[in-house]
Amino acid sequence: MLDVEIARGYIPGSIGRVTELHGIYYHDNWDFGFFFETKVADELSEFLGRYDENLDGFWVALFDGRVEGSITIDGIHAQKEGAHLRWFIISDVLRGRGVGNRLINTAVEFCKNKGYKQAYLWTFEALDAARHLYEKSGFKLVEQRRGTQWGKEVNEQRFELRFR
């Protein structure tokens, strides 16, 4: 068993490292480029700049002191639209070792403890491993459409998890 710590809240370097993980993974596997990486950096920085630990959750997976994964719950609109699950990623070092399950379970438990009625996320078709984890946690596919929110046209998918 790997000694992986799930830490909540901002850790110095986490904005850059989470952005790096996204930029490299999505470039190497889906040919996403500059637009996507800057979008992650901008939106993650904006989120952490307004982070409220009473509404939001930001967790990183630390292995040997290095950020090797992350997940976020953006609760700013949780009461009206649901809590937004974002920036879920696992590095190649930890992928397939159960860390993704731990991160998703942490985020889902956080939403339940906050009394949120639902959580949602946007992803795109072909991310089969992530989809498996979402569905295993109870998320259901509720919408599909062609879109370019990631800077490249893909079949976007919205998943929701209702708590009550």
**DSSP labels, 71-124:** EEEE-TTTTTT-EEEEEEEE-TTTTTTTHHHHHHHHHHHHHHHHT-SEEEEEEE
Residue 110: partners with Cβ closer than 8 Å, 6 or more residues away: 57, 73
Instruction: Check: pTM over 0.85? Answer yes or no.
Output: yes
Amino acid at 19: T
The answer to whether residues 106 and 92 touch, using CB atoms and an 8 Å cutoff, is: no
pLDDT one-digit tens code per residue, 35-69: 999 999 999 999 999 999 999 999 999 999 999 99
User: Which of residues 140 and 129 earns the better pLDDT score?
Assistant: 140
- Give the phi and the psi of residue 112 in degrees, each rounded to 5: -60, -45
User: What is the reported pLDDT for 150?
Assistant: 82
The answer to whether residues 67 and 14 touch, using CB atoms and an 8 Å cutoff, is: yes
Overall average pLDDT of the 73-84 stretch:
95
CB atoms within 10 A of CB 128: 8
Residue 9: partners with Cβ closer than 8 Å, 6 or more residues away: 51, 53, 58
User: What is the reported pLDDT for 1?
Assistant: 60
pLDDT one-digit tens code per residue, 86-127: 999 999 999 999 999 999 999 999 999 999 999 999 999 989
Domains detected in the chain: 4-116 (3.40.630.30)
Overall average pLDDT of the 147-153 stretch:
87
User: What is the reported pLDDT for 104?
Assistant: 97
Average pLDDT, the chain: 95
